[in-house]
Amino acid sequence: MDALIRVITILAFLLEAEGGNPRSCSCVLKDCYTAIQDPKDFKTSADVCRDRGGHLMTVRSTVSSDAIHDLLFNLLEDFWIGLQLPDGRCSNTSLGLLRGYEWTTGDTSTDFSNWKTNATTCSPMCVSVSSDLKWTERPCHDKIAGFMCENNYQSTCTPLRSATNESVLYSTPLGFKGEGLLALPPGSVATQIPSGIKKLCAPDTDVWLGAPWGCDIENGGCEYLCQMNDGLPECLCQLGKGPRDGVACSCAPGFEMVRGKCMDIDECSDGTCEHICTNTQGGYNCSCSKGYKQMSTDSHRCELHCPSEECTAVCDKNDPTKCSCPFGYILDQSENGSFCVDIDECVRDSKECDQQCKNTFGSFICSCDSGFDLRDGFRCVRRDSLEDSTPTTVSNDFVNSSSQDSACVVTVGALTGIVLCLQSRCL
């Protein structure tokens, strides 16, 4: 608990939820961690963190482990951390706290570990963590709920003091926004409400700079348009106001000029989102109806989704016999209603995996025994075989029933026995 006194924690849910933006953030001293709820494999997650100026989260102490509890508050899914088993190496408890694994930063230093099991593996594996704080080994090509990034700074800024009847909204370079934050990374912008005055957390210091700044930094702190005038930045137009001092201005994306003032465009009036559209200042948010989720390839569209072994089917209101289920599920229709039931691809007679198979909701995961390497997501190749001498590309997407197009329907009677109805085999 003494160590936690030194922890500066930020927990800020997005005011505008957009795909790829952090769900939450926690800053411990000069290190900031973000949880990004976006299904990706390990390598893609590591690339995203690097593009954001950081790396996948390292969990080297109880302090950083405790930060995960805040990052994943009220979530049950698994998120990647920056720990992977190098090719050609087997994990072993005798190799120290990390069992032979390495951080994506290239080192193995740690004062802490929290493995969920004591299993030994020789397949290419990476590590995830969930709200139970336990480390779980899993194939690196799995696409799990999200990942956690880590950014390291020389300093962070303390929050601004606000006057009576005034609040401060913070926007950070890590992608999250919120009020009442306890620490801010450099590059964060503080907007005082209702005055609209903005300040910038200066890089490499803990000083807040008043706007305007150079127009190349956060638009100079201007609410609308920034232009350089005699070498100095100047804010020209603000939202809801017209040109100042006779200087003409144009509106930013998401706004339009109405009777000499920049006003918000209601993008939701054009059917931009497939299901639910919520208009915001300068933008909009898409969301999905119950039983659906946003498509990872297009946040404007929705696809059927079931987060458990069984869900109520989505049926036509005009024809209850016409029902649909997510990929990886079969339709069970009876007098009690219509339900979507998870297909167990790992039943005894299944040949989906060479060796070990783990069923998941809507899909499955293949793994190999000790001494074998996983190839193409489902084949197991003995490590000393001739085939292993030739590099083989491992598929980023493991083989699963969701790659099929057909639908399956079974009755309650059929469900009383062991039923395997892979979509590729249904008529």
Give the Cα separation of 414 and 22 in Å (integer): 44
User: pTM value?
Assistant: 0.48
Please indicate, yes or no, whether residues 295 and 364 belong to a single structural domain of this protein.
no
pLDDT surpassing 90 at residue 255: no
Total domains in the fold of the chain: 4
Q: Are residues 11 and 123 in the same domain?
A: yes
Residue 285, SS3 per DSSP: strand
Give the pLDDT confidence of 365-378 residue by residue, as tens digits.
999 999 999 988 88
Please tell me whether the peptide bond between 326 and the residue prior to it is cis, using omega within 30 degrees of 0: no
- Burial class from Cβ neighbours inside 10 Å (0-12, 13-18, 19+) for residue 213 reads buried
d(CA 44, CA 104): 13
* SS3 at position 68: helix
| Residues 339, 286 share a domain | no
How far apart are alpha carbons 316 and 314 in whole angstroms?
7
Q: Are 127 and 114 in contact (CB under 8 A)?
A: no
55 confidence band (pLDDT: 50, 70, 90):
very high
Q: What residue numbers bound the domain in which 107 lies? A: 3-152
Q: What is the pLDDT of residue 235?
A: 63
Mean pLDDT, to the nearest integer, of 398-410? 36
Query: Does one domain contain both 32 and 77?
Result: yes
Give the pLDDT confidence score for residue 251 in this predicted structure: 66
Q: Is residue 377 part of a domain?
A: yes
Query: pLDDT-based confidence at 76, cuts 50/70/90?
Result: confident
Instruction: Check whether the bond before 185 is cis (ω within 30° of 0).
Output: no
Looking at the structure, tell me whether residues 111 and 59 fall in a common domain: yes
Predicted local confidence at residue 348, as pLDDT: 64
Instruction: Give the model confidence (pLDDT) of 102-121 as tens digits.
Output: 999 999 999 999 999 988 88
Assigned token pair, 61: 């102490």
Do 248 and 377 reside in the same domain of the chain?
A: no
Give the model's pLDDT for residue 243: 54
Position with higher pLDDT, 292 vs 235: 292
Residue among 234, 214, 223, 211 at smallest CA distance from 262: 223
Neighbouring CB atoms inside 10 A of 74's CB total: 8
**Cα dist from 286 to 38, 268, 280, 289, 403, whole Å:** 15, 9, 11, 10, 25
**What value does the mean pLDDT of the chain take?**
78
Would the pLDDT of 276 be above 80? yes
327: part of which helix (H) or strand (E)?
none
